[in-house]
Structure 1
Amino acid sequence: MIYLTKGLLNKQYTQLDDLPDFSHLVKATRAPQEALNMTDEQLAEYKSSSVTYALYGAVNGRQRRDDVLNRSVLFIDIDDESDYQTLSNRLANLFTALGINFVIYPTISNGIKDGARLRVGVELDKAVEFEVYKKIWLVITHQLHVKGDITAINSSFKQLQGLYVKTSQNALNEPIITTDGAGLPVDKFVSVYDKNAGEYQLKKAHESRENIATNGNVPRWARKNTAIIACLLDPEQSYQEFGGWDNMLTAVGGWTYRETHGDKRATVNTVASVNSKGSVPISEQELKIKIKSWFRGWTY
C-alpha cells in the first residue's frame, strides 16, 4: 500500500492502491516535483510545506501516529563525503549485479550541502516487519561502507522519505532507475545477517561523526555549536549525528538553556520549533513530559 503526505507537518496519510508500491516510486522519480530557481532558504521552506513524502507497506490506520506494520520498499538515506556520481554509480553497480530493482536520486539537500546527498529505494520481494527490515538495512550499509540515516531502524519505523524533487541545485545529478530485475531476496539477506550477526551491528554500519577523528585546530565547543546550529536550521538532515531524534532535542534544549542563562520559555519554544520540523515529530503532550524530565539534567 502507498501512503503519502504533503509537507512535514501533515498528520494524515493519503492512501493509494492504484499501482504496485515500487512502481509508484519509479513513476514519482521519472516525473518528479520541480522546485527550480529557488534559493537555499526557499527550498528549506518548500521541503517543510510542499514536498511529497511516502511510506510503502502497511499502516494500521491513516494517521502518522498509527503503527507501521511492515514496509515493502527499503530506503537508505546517505550523507557521504564522496560525490553523487561516484557513490550512486557504485551503489547501482552492486544492485545491478544482484539483479535487484532500485532507484537512486539526489535529495533536496544535494547541491546545497557538501558531499553525496542521495536516497536509495530498493524493492523487496515481500513486505517485512521492523526486525527484518533492520537486518537487511544493516547488511547493505555495512557491505557498501556507507553511512546511512539510522532513523528507520533505530528511532522510528514510521519515518517517511521525501520523493525526488528536481531543483536547480541538484539538477546536474540524474536519478538512476532499474526495473528489469526483481525484488531484493529478503530471506537470503536475513540469512547473511543471522550467520554473522556480530559483524552487522549498528556501530559497524553507521559511525557518528563524533567518533571519527578530526583534523585541524577547531575547538570542541565550536564543533558542537556548529552541530547544534545545523539542527536548528534543518534537524531532519542533522539529528542522526546525535544518535537519534530524542538525543538531538535534548542537546538542542540543553544548549539553548545554557546560552540563554536558564531561560525556560526560550528553551521550550526552541525545542518545540525544532521538533515540529521532523517528518514524525514527537506529539505535543509527549514532548511536554520529556522536556520536564530533561530540565532536571540541564544546567547553566
Structure 2
Amino acid sequence: MIYLTKGLLNKQYTQLDGLPDFSHLVKATGAPQEALKMTDEQLAGYKSSAVTYALYGTVNGQQRRDDVLNRTVLFIDVDDESDYHTLSDCLANMFTALGINFVIYPTISNGIKYGARLRVGIELDKAVELEVYRKIWLVITHQLHVKGDITAINGSFKQLQGLYVKTSQNALNKPIITTDGAGLPVDKFVAVYDKNAGKYQLKKAHESGKNIDTIGKIPTWAEHNRKFIACLLDPESNYMMFGGWDNMLTALGGWTLRSTCGDYGMTADVLEAVNNMGSDPISDSELGKKFKSWAKGWTY
C-alpha cells in the first residue's frame, strides 16, 4: 500500500490505491514537486510543511503513530559521500548489474549541504518486516561502502521518505530511474547476511552523528551547538546523535533553557514543535509529564 503525508507535521496518512507501490515512486520521481527560486532558509520551511512524504508497505491504521507492519520499498539515505554524479553512477551500475529496479534522486538538501545528499529507493520482491529490512540494508550499504542514515533500521521503522523535489539548488543533479529489472531478491540477501552476520554489523560510518558537516578544527562548543541546530531543523534524521528521541528532547530542552536564560515557556514551545516533527511523536499529555521531570535537572 501507498501512504502519503504532506509535511512533517501531518499526523495522518492519506492512503492511495490503484497503483503498485514502486510504480508510484517511479511516477513521483519522474514528475516531481518543484520548489524553484527558494533560498536555503525557505526550503527548510518548505521541507517541514509542503514536501510529500511516503511510506510503502502496510500500516496497522491511518495515523503515523500506528505500527508499520512491513515495507515493500527499501530506502537508503546517503549523506557526505563523494559527489552526486560520481556516487549515483556507481550505485546505478551496481544495481543494474544485479538486475533490480531502483530510483536514485537528490534530496532537498542536495546543493545546500556538503556531499552527495541522495536517496535510493529499491523495489523488493516481497514485503518485509523490520528485521529482514535491516539485514538487507546492512548488506547493501556494506558492500557499496556508503554511509546511510540508520533511523529506519535502528530507530523508527515508521520513518517517512521525502519524495523527489526539484529545487534550484539540486536541479543539475538528475534522478536515475530503472524499471526494466525485477524486485530485489529478499531471500538471497537475507541468506548473505545470515551466512556472515558479524561482517554486516553497524559501524561508526553509519552513525547519524556523521551527518553534521565538519570543516577543519572547530571548538567543542560549536560542534555541540551544531548538533542541536540540526535537530531543530530535522529531528527525524538527527535524533540518534543523542541516542534516542527522549534523550534528544531533554538535551535540547536544557540547551534552550540555558540559551534563553531560563525561559521555560519558550523551552516548552521548542520541545513541542520539535516533537511534532517526528514520525512517532510523544503524546501531548506524556510530553508534559516528561517536561516537568526533565526540567528538574536543567540549570542555567
Question: Who is 1:122 aligned against?
Answer: 122
Matches within 5 A, 1:68-107: 68-107=68-107
- For residues 141 and 76 of structure 2, the distance between their equivalents in structure 1, rounded to whole angstroms, comes to 8
Matches within 5 A, 1:205-224: 206-209=206-209, 216-224=216-224
Q: TM-score, normalised by structure 2?
A: 0.92
Question: Who is 1:167 aligned against?
Answer: 167
State the secondary structure of the residue aligned to 1:116.
Answer: coil
TM-superposed CA distance for 1:289, in Å, is 3.4
Question: Who is 2:24 aligned against?
Answer: 24
Question: Who is 1:181 aligned against?
Answer: 181
- For residues 147 and 210 of structure 2, the distance between their equivalents in structure 1, rounded to whole angstroms, comes to 13
Question: Who is 1:137 aligned against?
Answer: 137
- For residues 221 and 157 of structure 1, the distance between their equivalents in structure 2, rounded to whole angstroms, comes to 32
Task: Please say which of residues 125-134 and 247-256 is displaced more in the overlay.
Answer: 247-256
| Aligned 8 A contact 2:64 2:279 in 1 | no
Change in 2 beyond 3 A, CA 1:184/1:211: closer
| Aligned 8 A contact 1:149 1:240 in 2 | no
Count of paired positions: 299
Question: Who is 1:245 aligned against?
Answer: 245
Task: Please say which of residues 287-296 and 22-31 is displaced more in the overlay.
Answer: 287-296
User: How far does the alpha carbon of each residue in 1:263-283 deviate from its partner, in whole angstroms, 9 at most, with x for none?
Assistant: 433322221122223344333
- For residues 272 and 113 of structure 1, the distance between their equivalents in structure 2, rounded to whole angstroms, comes to 26
State the secondary structure of the residue aligned to 2:53.
Answer: strand
TM-superposed CA distance for 1:208, in Å, is 4.7
Question: Who is 1:8 aligned against?
Answer: 8
- For residues 7 and 293 of structure 1, the distance between their equivalents in structure 2, rounded to whole angstroms, comes to 30
| Aligned 8 A contact 1:142 1:205 in 2 | no
Gaps of 5+ in 1: none
2:48 maps to 1:63? no
State the secondary structure of the residue aligned to 1:29.
Answer: helix
Change in 2 beyond 3 A, CA 1:195/1:284: same
| Aligned 8 A contact 1:101 1:178 in 2 | yes
- For residues 117 and 64 of structure 1, the distance between their equivalents in structure 2, rounded to whole angstroms, comes to 25
- For residues 46 and 22 of structure 1, the distance between their equivalents in structure 2, rounded to whole angstroms, comes to 25
Aligned amino acid, residue 188 of structure 1: K
User: How far does the alpha carbon of each residue in 1:79-109 deviate from its partner, in whole angstroms, 9 at most, with x for none?
Assistant: 1242111111111111111111110001111
Change in 2 beyond 3 A, CA 1:29/1:192: same
Task: Please say which of residues 46-55 and 165-174 is displaced more in the overlay.
Answer: 46-55
Change in 2 beyond 3 A, CA 1:205/1:94: farther
TM-superposed CA distance for 1:122, in Å, is 0.5
Gaps of 5+ in 2: none
TM-superposed CA distance for 1:165, in Å, is 0.7
TM-superposed CA distance for 1:2, in Å, is 0.7
User: How far does the alpha carbon of each residue in 1:227-264 deviate from its partner, in whole angstroms, 9 at most, with x for none?
Assistant: 21222233344334334433322321121233334443
- For residues 29 and 159 of structure 1, the distance between their equivalents in structure 2, rounded to whole angstroms, comes to 19
Aligned amino acid, residue 32 of structure 1: P
TM-superposed CA distance for 1:216, in Å, is 4.5
TM-superposed CA distance for 1:296, in Å, is 4.3
